[in-house]
Amino acid sequence: MKIQPNTIDQIFTALEKQIRAHRGRPLSLVICGGTALAALGLINRTTKDVDVLGIAKETKGSLNILKISEFPEWLIKAAFIVKRDFNLPDNWLNLGPAPQVETGLPEAFEERLIKKIYGNLLTIYFISRLDQIHFKLYAAIDRNDYHVQDFFILRPTDKEVEMAAKWVITQDVSEEFKLLLKDFLRRYDLESVAKRI
């Protein structure tokens, strides 16, 4: 079963309850992908999973995103109960995008995160619309799937596309990749942006 936009809060509330039941510790997760899009009302569609980018740590008024390579055992157990209760896929809570923390995030990424608290133990930071544009462009370049659709549903301005494109080429510095990016932009009538990168 997929995650519906109107069940996201219920799922995270249930996860916090199970974290408590399994004697877990306070946890702040940074979420991207379809769940973040739906939770913020940017796109109204279902998604199959919750993509965890990393852990957020607040220190002296600033927010840092730390890479996480695996979930603690108590979170795995908590997520399993939620999977069962909501009939979710096995890997509904996953670390698929976690390597992105090491390869680099868009400038001022942390400042744009949108915070939501679920109970005493779970805080979720959803990534912003602008950062979704960055990630979706990166994912869409050599594909023709929902990433492309999501990118254009977000209705990026030329300035936002240019910002995203300049970040994307820091993720793969090869000339071949840059040509793919320019080809993508031209294919979707963004020639003016292609010329500036």
Domain boundaries, the chain: 5-127, 130-195
Q: Whole-angstrom Cα distance, residue 42 to residue 53? A: 19
The predicted-structure confidence for 160-172, as pLDDT tens digits, reads as follows: 999 999 999 999 9
Q: For strand 93-94 and strand 50-59, is the pairing parallel, antiparallel, or unpaired?
A: parallel
Q: What is the pLDDT of residues 25-80, one digit of tens each?
A: 999 999 999 999 999 999 999 999 999 999 999 888 889 999 999 999 999 999 99
Q: Is the pLDDT of residue 144 over 80?
A: no
Dist. CA 192–CA 128, nearest whole Å? 25
Cα–Cα dist 34/132, whole Å: 9
Q: Write the CB contacts of 103 (distance below 8 Å, at least 6 apart in sequence).
A: 171
pLDDT of residue 127: 98
Predicted local distance difference test score (pLDDT) of residue 90: 94
- Token pair in block for residue 176: 């071949």
Task: State the Cα–Cα distance between residues 152 and 82, nearest whole angstrom.
Answer: 32
Residue 151 one-letter amino acid: F
- Chain center to CA of 115: 13
* Contacts of residue 49, Cβ cutoff 8 Å, sequence gap at least 6: 3, 33, 34, 35, 89, 91, 92, 93, 94, 96
Under 8 Å between Cβ of 57 and 28: yes
Scored b (16 or more CB within 10 A) or e, 65-98 reads beebeebeebbebbbbebbeebebeeebbbbebb
What is the rounded distance in angstroms from the CA atom of residue 3 to the CA atom of residue 87?
9
In the predicted model, is pLDDT for residue 158 greater than 90? yes
**Per-residue pLDDT at 60:** 84
